[in-house]
Amino acid sequence: MIERLQNNDKEISIKIRSVFQASYAVEAKLLNATEFPPLKRTLDSYLKSSNAFFGYWKNQELAGVIEISHDENATAINSLVVAPKFFRRGIARKLIEFVFSTYDSKLFVVETGVKNEPAIELYRKFDFKEVKQWNTEHGIKKIQFEKRINK
Protein backbone atom coordinates (compact mmCIF):
# COMPACT_ATOMS: atom_id res chain seq x y z
CA MET A 1 0.00 0.00 0.00
CA ILE A 2 1.27 3.50 -0.87
CA GLU A 3 0.48 6.48 1.33
CA ARG A 4 1.72 9.98 2.02
CA LEU A 5 4.19 9.98 4.89
CA GLN A 6 4.01 12.73 7.50
CA ASN A 7 7.73 13.47 7.59
CA ASN A 8 7.25 16.15 10.25
CA ASP A 9 6.40 13.30 12.67
CA LYS A 10 9.67 12.18 14.28
CA GLU A 11 8.79 8.47 14.39
CA ILE A 12 7.86 8.51 10.69
CA SER A 13 11.03 10.41 9.77
CA ILE A 14 13.11 7.87 11.67
CA LYS A 15 11.55 5.13 9.51
CA ILE A 16 12.08 7.17 6.33
CA ARG A 17 15.73 7.81 7.19
CA SER A 18 16.29 4.14 8.01
CA VAL A 19 15.16 3.07 4.52
CA PHE A 20 17.25 5.84 2.92
CA GLN A 21 20.37 4.82 4.85
CA ALA A 22 20.06 1.12 3.98
CA SER A 23 19.34 1.78 0.30
CA TYR A 24 22.00 4.48 -0.11
CA ALA A 25 24.65 2.25 1.49
CA VAL A 26 24.05 -0.20 -1.37
CA GLU A 27 24.09 2.60 -3.96
CA ALA A 28 27.35 4.00 -2.58
CA LYS A 29 28.97 0.58 -3.16
CA LEU A 30 27.54 0.43 -6.71
CA LEU A 31 29.06 3.83 -7.44
CA ASN A 32 32.38 3.04 -5.70
CA ALA A 33 31.78 6.21 -3.71
CA THR A 34 33.90 6.82 -0.64
CA GLU A 35 32.14 10.12 -0.04
CA PHE A 36 28.37 9.82 -0.58
CA PRO A 37 26.42 12.90 0.58
CA PRO A 38 22.99 11.18 0.81
CA LEU A 39 24.37 9.00 3.62
CA LYS A 40 25.11 12.16 5.61
CA ARG A 41 21.54 13.44 5.47
CA THR A 42 20.34 14.19 8.97
CA LEU A 43 17.08 13.23 10.62
CA ASP A 44 16.39 16.93 11.00
CA SER A 45 16.52 17.41 7.21
CA TYR A 46 13.70 14.90 6.81
CA LEU A 47 11.66 16.45 9.60
CA LYS A 48 11.94 19.95 8.11
CA SER A 49 11.68 19.05 4.43
CA SER A 50 8.86 20.64 2.45
CA ASN A 51 9.06 17.81 -0.10
CA ALA A 52 6.33 15.18 -0.27
CA PHE A 53 7.26 11.68 0.88
CA PHE A 54 5.23 8.64 -0.12
CA GLY A 55 5.87 5.23 1.33
CA TYR A 56 5.21 1.71 0.16
CA TRP A 57 4.23 -0.48 3.09
CA LYS A 58 4.67 -4.25 3.03
CA ASN A 59 3.35 -6.17 6.05
CA GLN A 60 3.44 -3.01 8.21
CA GLU A 61 7.07 -2.40 7.27
CA LEU A 62 8.20 0.63 5.27
CA ALA A 63 9.69 -1.05 2.19
CA GLY A 64 10.20 1.93 -0.13
CA VAL A 65 10.02 5.71 -0.21
CA ILE A 66 9.77 8.25 -3.01
CA GLU A 67 10.50 11.92 -2.32
CA ILE A 68 8.88 14.47 -4.61
CA SER A 69 9.10 18.18 -5.21
CA HIS A 70 6.48 19.66 -7.47
CA ASP A 71 5.68 23.07 -8.94
CA GLU A 72 3.78 24.40 -11.93
CA ASN A 73 6.69 23.56 -14.26
CA ALA A 74 7.69 20.04 -13.25
CA THR A 75 7.62 17.16 -10.83
CA ALA A 76 11.03 16.05 -9.59
CA ILE A 77 11.75 12.67 -8.13
CA ASN A 78 14.31 13.82 -5.59
CA SER A 79 14.86 10.36 -4.13
CA LEU A 80 13.61 6.86 -4.72
CA VAL A 81 14.78 4.21 -2.27
CA VAL A 82 13.84 0.65 -1.46
CA ALA A 83 14.99 -1.26 1.60
CA PRO A 84 17.50 -3.89 0.40
CA LYS A 85 15.45 -6.81 1.71
CA PHE A 86 12.68 -5.69 -0.68
CA PHE A 87 14.86 -5.25 -3.80
CA ARG A 88 13.57 -6.71 -7.08
CA ARG A 89 9.92 -6.88 -6.03
CA GLY A 90 8.55 -4.06 -8.20
CA ILE A 91 8.29 -1.54 -5.37
CA ALA A 92 10.24 1.23 -7.12
CA ARG A 93 8.13 0.70 -10.25
CA LYS A 94 4.91 0.96 -8.24
CA LEU A 95 6.12 4.17 -6.58
CA ILE A 96 6.94 5.74 -9.96
CA GLU A 97 3.56 4.69 -11.36
CA PHE A 98 1.93 6.27 -8.30
CA VAL A 99 3.73 9.57 -8.95
CA PHE A 100 2.61 9.60 -12.60
CA SER A 101 -0.99 9.02 -11.56
CA THR A 102 -0.87 11.55 -8.69
CA TYR A 103 0.92 14.51 -10.29
CA ASP A 104 -0.48 16.18 -13.38
CA SER A 105 2.81 17.39 -14.84
CA LYS A 106 4.08 17.77 -18.36
CA LEU A 107 7.66 17.22 -17.19
CA PHE A 108 9.12 14.71 -14.73
CA VAL A 109 12.82 14.78 -13.84
CA VAL A 110 15.11 12.41 -11.97
CA GLU A 111 18.85 11.90 -11.54
CA THR A 112 21.13 9.16 -10.29
CA GLY A 113 24.71 8.00 -10.46
CA VAL A 114 25.93 6.90 -13.89
CA LYS A 115 26.99 3.54 -12.45
CA ASN A 116 23.59 2.87 -10.85
CA GLU A 117 22.46 0.48 -13.57
CA PRO A 118 19.33 -0.81 -11.76
CA ALA A 119 17.98 2.74 -11.42
CA ILE A 120 18.92 3.72 -14.98
CA GLU A 121 17.24 0.59 -16.35
CA LEU A 122 14.09 1.38 -14.37
CA TYR A 123 13.89 4.99 -15.55
CA ARG A 124 14.43 3.95 -19.17
CA LYS A 125 11.56 1.45 -18.87
CA PHE A 126 9.36 4.45 -18.07
CA ASP A 127 10.66 6.28 -21.20
CA PHE A 128 12.80 8.77 -19.30
CA LYS A 129 15.38 10.23 -21.67
CA GLU A 130 18.91 11.21 -20.72
CA VAL A 131 19.43 14.97 -20.84
CA LYS A 132 22.87 15.42 -19.27
CA GLN A 133 25.77 13.93 -17.35
CA TRP A 134 28.19 15.71 -15.04
CA ASN A 135 30.84 15.12 -12.39
CA THR A 136 30.10 16.12 -8.82
CA GLU A 137 32.60 17.59 -6.38
CA HIS A 138 32.49 14.23 -4.54
CA GLY A 139 33.82 12.34 -7.56
CA ILE A 140 30.48 10.80 -8.52
CA LYS A 141 29.39 11.04 -12.13
CA LYS A 142 25.66 11.71 -12.31
CA ILE A 143 23.04 11.44 -15.02
CA GLN A 144 19.77 13.36 -15.34
CA PHE A 145 16.66 12.09 -17.09
CA GLU A 146 13.45 13.76 -18.18
CA LYS A 147 10.09 12.44 -19.22
CA ARG A 148 7.81 14.79 -21.11
CA ILE A 149 4.09 14.12 -21.26
CA ASN A 150 2.12 15.66 -24.10
CA LYS A 151 -1.31 16.71 -22.88
Q: Which superfamily is assigned to 2-148 in CATH? A: Gcn5-related N-acetyltransferase (GNAT) (3.40.630.30)
pLDDT of residue 151 exceeding 80: no
- pLDDT, residue 139, reads 84
Structural domain boundaries in the chain? 2-148
φ/ψ (deg, to 5) at 82:
-130, 135
Q: What is the pTM of this model?
A: 0.94
- pLDDT, residue 30, reads 85
Write the pLDDT tens digit of every residue in 64-73. Answer: 999 999 999 9
Query: What is the chain written as a DSSP string?
Result: -EEEE-TTSHHHHHHHHHHHHHHHHHHHHHTT-SS-GGGG--HHHHHH--SEEEEEEETTEEEEEEEEEE-SS-EEEEEEEE-GGGTTSSHHHHHHHHHHHH---SEEEEEEETT-HHHHHHHHHTT-EEEEEEE-TTS-EEEEEEEE---
Write the pLDDT tens digit of every residue in 118-133. Answer: 999 999 999 999 999 9
